[in-house]
Amino acid sequence: MTAHAGIAAIGAIIGVPLLIAVGMTGAISAMFSSGTSWPSATALADIPTDYLALYREATVVCPGLDWSIVAAIGKIETDHGRSTLPGVSSGQNPSGAGGPLQFLAGTFTSVVARHPLPAGGASPPSRYDKHDAIYAAAYYLCDSGADRGDLQAAIFAYNHAQWYVDDVLAQAEKYSQAASHSSVNCGALQPDSQLATPGVEGNPVLTAVGFACAQLGQPYVWGGDGPDEGGWDCSGLTKAAYAAAGIGLPRVAQDQYDAGPLLPAGTPLQPGDLVFFGASTTSITHVGIAISPTEMINAPEPGTAVRVDKLGRYLAAARPAIIAAS
């Protein structure tokens, strides 16, 4: 927990509307208004995997709001839900705030009334549920000025203190790094018709891709199923990405190929499609998850890290999101 996390958890005043004239430098605007930064090594080491995936997924509801801003608030308020102070997992702090993003009950209810939350959280929505709290925070910041590029006003509305604004921006800078190594940016993927799964609430493809994006920089470990085991291997990553979206996949690449559903040869790839490599359809040795027709998130081999790679020649592709619609 940061030095201010305990202070914020005890004394945060969230959701009292206040219009202020706060100057915002061009540098701050340029750094965090694109919504497209990658998680830094600091972010990958500090933010729990499920929280990181939600931060990156939820901020697509607000063009101009980078995921790192919501993540920084989550850090300062409750250390991403890890704080043991009153009002984090239940009850409320002396100011009446509760949950991992420290919402006042009335503010949370108001946000949810204006912006119905996507499926994946509690029913009814709860400020103590990380999914619901993170989406509500993204919507609240958007309503408070983030959609206009005024991040300082948005953060000040969340907690009326200039030190809080400064700390959030500083933490967000630690969590973000420019996306310069790929022509496709995970944070820029939107839940549009290309990613949507007809007949399914929420967006399983966006969830799966968001989860995979959040693992960028994690080391390759043969047989690895995540940070608790030191890193990922290729099929461990794809399995976990779709598990985050509620779709079960087998553990190894060959079995994922066999599970399909396979796409006809020549079908243009969409984000979330699995791409398979190997000598033949009975000798699948590698799998990645597409983020465009030409690039994939890849856990390549020992000595490397999860990264974005060009696809090259692949043997076959599958679209697991079809399972969710069946």
Instruction: Give residue limits of the domains in the chain.
Output: 5-178, 188-325
Give the pLDDT of residue 200. 36
* CB-based burial label for 51 (10 Å; 0-12, 13-18, 19+): buried
Residue 8, pLDDT above cutoff 60: no
Residue 182, pLDDT above cutoff 80: no
Q: What is the pLDDT of residues 214-248, one digit of tens each?
A: 888 889 999 999 888 889 999 999 999 999 888 99
Give the pLDDT of residue 79. 97
Residue 264, pLDDT above cutoff 70: yes
Q: What is the pLDDT of residues 66-82, one digit of tens each?
A: 999 999 999 999 999 99
Per the CB < 8 A criterion, the answer to whether 169 and 28 are in contact is yes
Which pTM does this prediction carry?
Answer: 0.53
Q: What is the pLDDT of residues 116-131, one digit of tens each?
A: 999 999 999 999 999 9
Give the pLDDT of residue 17. 26
Look at 186 and 94; give whichever has higher pLDDT.
94
Residue 23, pLDDT above cutoff 70: no
Give the pLDDT of residue 32. 45
- 249 sits in the region (left: phi over 0; alpha: psi -120 to 50; else beta) called beta
CATH topology (fold) of 188-325:
endopeptidase fold (from Nostoc punctiforme) (3.90.1720)
Q: How far apart are CA 5 and CA 173, in angstroms?
A: 17
- Domain 5-178 class in CATH: mainly alpha
Mean pLDDT of the region 160-186? 76
Look at 190 and 148; give whichever has higher pLDDT.
148
Residues in the chain: 326
Give the pLDDT of residue 174. 87
